[in-house]
Structure 1
Amino acid sequence: MSSASKKIRFGLIGCGQISSRHVASIKTSKNAQLAAVCDLNEQRAKQYNVDWTTNYHNLIKRDDLDVISVCVPNGLHVQMGIDVAHANKHCLMEKPLGLNLQQADRLINAFKKSGKKLFAVKQVRFNPTVLALKDAVSAKKLGKINNAALVVRWCRPQEYYDNDAWRGTKKLDGGALLNQGIHYIDILQWILGPVISVYAKTDTIGHKIEIEDIALAILKFKSGAYATVEFTLSTYPRNLECSLSVLGKQGTIKLGGPAMDTIEIWQVANCPKPTIKNGLPPNVYVGGLYQGSCPNHIFVYQSIINYFLKNTKTFADGLEARKSLEIVEAVYRSAKQNKEIKLPL
Structure 2
Amino acid sequence: MIHFAIVGCGHIAAKHIDAIERTEGARLIALCDPDPAKLAAWSGAGSVSLYADFTTLLVQEPQVDAVCICAPSGLHVPLALEAIRAGKHVVLEKPVTLDLAEAKLLRQALDQSGLKATVVHPNRYRPAIRELKAALEQQRFGKLSHINVTVRWNRSDEYYNQAAWRGTREMDGGVLLNQAIHGLDLLQWLFGPVEEVKSLVATRLKPIEAEDVAIAALRLESGALGVIEAATTVYGHNLEETISVFGEDGYAVIGGKTANWIKHWVCASMSQEETEALTRKVEADPFGIPGHQCIIADFVQAIEDGRDPEITLEDGIRAVKLALDMTGGSSDELAGSLG
Give yes or no for TM over 0.5: yes
d(CA) in 1 for partners of 2:98, 2:73? 7
- Is the CA contact (8 Å cut-off) linking 1:149 and 1:244 kept in structure 2? yes
Tell me the equivalent position of 2:287: 280
State the AA in 1 paired with 2:293. Answer: I
Q: State the number of aligned residues.
A: 323
1:61-210 to 2 correspondences below 5 Å:
61=59, 62-210=61-209
Deviates more, 1:173-182 or 1:10-19: 173-182
User: What secondary structure does 2:18 align onto?
Assistant: helix
User: What secondary structure does 2:176 align onto?
Assistant: helix
User: What secondary structure does 1:196 align onto?
Assistant: strand
Q: Is 2:298 the counterpart of 1:303?
A: yes
TM-score (norm 1): 0.89
User: What secondary structure does 1:180 align onto?
Assistant: coil
User: What secondary structure does 1:254 align onto?
Assistant: strand
Distance 1:279-1:306 versus aligned 2 partners, 3 A rule: farther
Match among 50, 53, 65 for residue 52 of structure 1: 50
Tell me the equivalent position of 1:35: 29
Q: Is 2:10 the counterpart of 1:16?
A: yes
- Is the CA contact (8 Å cut-off) linking 1:303 and 1:313 kept in structure 2? no
User: What secondary structure does 2:166 align onto?
Assistant: coil
Displacement, 1:42? 2.1
User: What secondary structure does 1:177 align onto?
Assistant: coil
Displacement, 1:30? 3.0
d(CA) in 1 for partners of 2:328, 2:138? 34
- Is the CA contact (8 Å cut-off) linking 2:2 and 2:26 kept in structure 1? yes
The percentage of aligned residue pairs carrying the same residue is 31
Runs of 4+ in structure 1 displaced over 4 angstroms? 310-314
- Is the CA contact (8 Å cut-off) linking 1:154 and 1:240 kept in structure 2? yes
- Is the CA contact (8 Å cut-off) linking 1:11 and 1:67 kept in structure 2? yes
- Is the CA contact (8 Å cut-off) linking 2:118 and 2:309 kept in structure 1? no
d(CA) in 2 for partners of 1:60, 1:311? 23
Q: Is 2:19 the counterpart of 1:25?
A: yes
d(CA) in 1 for partners of 2:38, 2:286? 29
User: What secondary structure does 1:75 align onto?
Assistant: helix
State the AA in 2 paired with 1:55. Answer: D
Displacement, 1:75? 0.7
Structure 1: tracts of 5 or more residues without a match: 1-6, 282-293, 338-342
TM-score (norm 2): 0.90
Structure 2: tracts of 5 or more residues without a match: none
Q: Is 2:230 the counterpart of 1:231?
A: yes
1:300-339 to 2 correspondences below 5 Å:
300-310=295-305, 313=308, 315-333=310-328
